[in-house]
Structure formats: C-alpha cells, structure tokens
C-alpha cells in the first residue's frame, strides 16, 4: 500500500499561487493578508489536507493545543478512561494524543518519566497519566495523575473511593451469608490495591468474621497473573464459598479457572469484581462488580488538566464514588450444600 507524501507549506503556496510567507501568515493567523487570499489559501489547505508540524508549531508559539493521555498499556481500564477524555475534549480547542510508554506488562517503573521527556513541550501542552509509578514534572508543564501508585500527593489526581468500594463488595457477600470469603488482590505497589484489601479486611472485622489468611492471594490485576492464585484457592479442601477479586480481570480469570475445574459460578462459588469494565457484563455468568465511573474519571482528569493550563483555581484532588452492580455471579450461601 502506497502512502501519500506529507503535504508541505510550499505545496499549498504553489497551488494557491501565493508565497510561502503568505501561507505561513494564514496558518498562524497573522495580519497583512487580504481576506480573499486568506479564503483561497484555506480552501487549498482543506483540499490538500495540509497540517502544520506539531514540532514546528511548538517552536513558533510554544503551544501545540494537543494534550497527552499517557498509559503503560492499552488495557480495559485505561481504554475506558480514554473514552471519557475523548468526549470531554470536544469543543475545547484541544486534540488528544494517546501514548503507550510501558513495557506491555504494565510493570515498568519510570515509564512516565521517559514518556514525558519525549513528548512534553514539543508535542503536547500537558498530560493525563494513568496509574503512574513515578512522576517528575518540569516547571510550567501540567500533569494530572489518574489512580497513581502512591495515592494522592502534591500532584493533581483523580481516583475513585477504592476503600469504600471494597467494603461495599465484601458487605454484599456477607449479606448473602458467605463467611469463608477469599480475596485476590492486585499488585502490592498500587495504592488502589492496598486500599481494596484494607476495605475487605475492615468489612470482615466489622462483621466479626476472622479473615483466613490462606484465602488471601496476590493476583496482580491481570487475567494471566490471577489464574494461579485463583486455582490455589479453589483447590483447597475447604475452599472459599465466595471470592472478592481486586479487579474485573482477576474476577474473570477466577470464573475461567472455576469452569476449568468443573465448578459452577455461582452455584459452587460466588465471585465479585471491581471496575465494571465492559467485559464484566459479557462474561458467563455476567459479573457482579463494583463500578468505578471510569469514563467520568477520564473526563474529570482532562477537564482538570485544561483548567490548570488556563490558570483556573480549583480543587486538584478529585475522588469519585463507587457503586455496587449486581449481576449473576453471586448467590446466597447454602451451608447445607457445603
């Protein structure tokens, strides 16, 4: 497949019958060009599909009117955030650049620093960074972090109430009569993972139920990494009657493992997740989960970034509520059936 060569400013000038300097004035909105000429040049720009180089535009005006959404990888969580940001950017005068700078496994430390060094100041005017590990920003360059590893700090952040969501999930399982409840946590370096485990433990303590430490495993928030701990839990002679998975991908992995072992969800074991990614409604059975308003988180992060660039004074730490979404992966516990 042959790709057309990039249209240059000289191509526009030749087609419009004007000088390159005149085209430059039109592109950059400068005075000194007759209105009829401006209209003719703009028509040719549309006809040829000319776009100014972001790098050159940045050198001239120190602005690109492009905002970055930086992620370690494009997985369901970050994809939903991006959907929200793409809706919010409409009508703002900005465009979005989605950039994956991680190692493909979501575990590389410092990927944000490398990505910002590559993009900031020349390609983007500011960035929303999803689940950053380490962020060092240069003066005058604005960054908003979504669900940062260390939780809210001095950096503008957007997250959801992970602790309250975990309490909600655990209380739901308790309300169904479950007492042997397992927990497959996320990565140990993520504050959201720590808060969800803390919420699980708090809800169990408030109900007077002792957590069996054999039923708490690290799953890593990924389908592949959660499979082994899920298999270990379900292979126990006194396996849990319910599992609270730290995110939907871990919950989906648990359902898949249960099926491979000949166990039925929810008849043999109940499973609840966290996130409410689109896949949670498509799995069989549809997954009961805790909803993070992911698209709203992306929209709020983008709006916060735009406001910071514009110098608007506002709250720079946004925490959104979580909600229980009941589907078909949980059922009341029947003591006589175990």
Burial class (CB in 10 A: 0-12, 13-18, 19+), 80: buried
pLDDT at 60 over 60: no
Q: Residues 159, 149: contact at Cβ < 8 Å? A: no
Question: 278's torsion region: left (phi>0), alpha (psi -120 to 50) or beta?
Answer: alpha
DSSP state string for 93-135 = T-EEEEEE-S-SSS--TTHHHHHHHHHBTTTBSEEEEES-S--
Pairwise CA distance, residues 53 & 78, whole Å:
28
pLDDT at 176 over 90: yes
The pLDDT score that the predictor gives to residue 127 is: 94
Average pLDDT over residues 291-303: 97
pLDDT at 289 over 60: yes
The alpha carbon of residue 1 and the mean position of all alpha carbons in its chain are separated, in whole angstroms, by 34
For residue range 97-139, what is the model confidence (pLDDT) as tens digits?
Answer: 999 986 655 555 677 877 887 787 678 999 999 988 766 665 5
Helix (H), strand (E) counts: the chain? 12, 12
pLDDT at 92 over 70: yes
Q: Residues 249, 221: contact at Cβ < 8 Å? A: yes
Q: Is the peptide bond before 285 cis (omega within 30 degrees of 0)?
A: yes
The pLDDT score that the predictor gives to residue 337 is: 59
Q: Residues 190, 225: contact at Cβ < 8 Å? A: no
Tell me the β-bridge partners of 217: 184
pLDDT at 57 over 90: no
pLDDT at 184 over 80: yes
Burial class (CB in 10 A: 0-12, 13-18, 19+), 309: middle
- At residue 207 the predicted structure's pLDDT band, cuts being 50, 70 and 90, is very high
The pLDDT score that the predictor gives to residue 139 is: 55
Of 89-93, 120-124, 161-165, 249-253, where does mean pLDDT reach its minimum?
120-124
Average pLDDT over residues 192-201: 97
For residue range 19-42, what is the model confidence (pLDDT) as tens digits?
Answer: 988 988 888 777 888 999 999 998
Q: Residues 136, 153: contact at Cβ < 8 Å? A: no
Q: Are strands 288-291 and 323-325 parallel, antiparallel or unpaired?
A: antiparallel
The pLDDT score that the predictor gives to residue 135 is: 62
The pLDDT score that the predictor gives to residue 301 is: 97
Pairwise CA distance, residues 118 & 311, whole Å:
24
For residue range 264-278, what is the model confidence (pLDDT) as tens digits?
Answer: 999 999 999 999 999
Pairwise CA distance, residues 294 & 79, whole Å:
9
Pairwise CA distance, residues 271 & 244, whole Å:
6
Average pLDDT over residues 147-160: 84
The pLDDT score that the predictor gives to residue 79 is: 95
* Mean of the per-residue pLDDT values of the chain: 89
pLDDT at 152 over 50: yes
Torsion from C-alpha of 300, 301, 307, 312, nearest 10 degrees = 80
Write the CB contacts of 24 (distance below 8 Å, at least 6 apart in sequence).
Answer: 9, 30
- At residue 2 the predicted structure's pLDDT band, cuts being 50, 70 and 90, is very low
The pLDDT score that the predictor gives to residue 31 is: 82
Phi, psi of 183 (to 5 degrees): -135, 125
Residues in the chain: 338
Q: Residues 160, 297: contact at Cβ < 8 Å? A: yes
- 61-70, 89-98, 138-147, 320-329, range with greatest mean pLDDT: 320-329
DSSP three-state, residue 144: strand
- At residue 59 the predicted structure's pLDDT band, cuts being 50, 70 and 90, is very low
pTM: 0.81
The candidate with the shortest Cα–Cα distance to 173, out of 331, 322, 337, is 331
DSSP three-state, residue 197: helix
The pLDDT score that the predictor gives to residue 58 is: 44
Average pLDDT over residues 154-179: 96
The pLDDT score that the predictor gives to residue 250 is: 97
């Amino acid at each position: 497949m042959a790709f057309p060569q990039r249209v240059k400013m000289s191509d526009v000038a030749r087609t419009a019958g004007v000088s390159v300097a005149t085209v430059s004035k039109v592109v950059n909105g400068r005075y000194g060009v007759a209105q009829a000429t401006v209209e003719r040049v703009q028509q040719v720009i549309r006809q040829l599909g000319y776009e100014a180089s972001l790098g050159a535009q940045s050198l001239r005006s120190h602005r690109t009117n492009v905002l970055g959404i930086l992620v370690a990888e494009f997985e369901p969580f970050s994809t939903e955030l991006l959907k929200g940001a793409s809706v919010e950017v409409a009508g703002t005068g900005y465009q979005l650049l989605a950039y994956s700078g991680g190692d493909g496994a979501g575990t590389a430390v410092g990927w944000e620093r490398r990505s910002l060094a590559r993009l900031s100041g020349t390609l983007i005017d500011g960035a929303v960074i999803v689940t950053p590990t380490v962020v060092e920003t240069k003066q005058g360059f604005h960054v908003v972090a979504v669900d940062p590893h260390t939780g809210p700090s001095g950096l503008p952040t957007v997250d959801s109430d992970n602790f309250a969501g975990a309490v909600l999930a655990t209380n739901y399982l308790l309300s169904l009569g479950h007492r042997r409840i397992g927990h497959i946590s996320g990565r140990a370096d993520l504050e959201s993972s720590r808060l969800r485990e803390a919420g699980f433990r708090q809800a169990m303590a408030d109900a007077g139920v002792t957590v069996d430490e054999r039923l708490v495993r690290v799953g890593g928030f990924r389908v592949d990494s959660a499979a082994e701990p899920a298999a270990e839990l379900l292979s126990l002679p006194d396996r849990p009657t319910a599992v609270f998975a730290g995110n939907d991908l871990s919950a989906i992995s648990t359902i898949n493992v249960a099926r491979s072992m000949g166990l039925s969800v929810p008849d043999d074991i109940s499973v609840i997740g966290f996130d409410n990614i689109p896949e949670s409604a498509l799995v069989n059975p549809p997954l009961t989960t805790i909803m993070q308003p992911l698209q709203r988180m992306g929209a709020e992060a983008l709006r916060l970034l735009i406001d910071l660039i514009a110098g608007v004074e506002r709250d720079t730490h946004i925490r959104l509520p979580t909600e229980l979404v009941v589907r078909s992966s949980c059922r009341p516990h029947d003591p006589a059936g175990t």
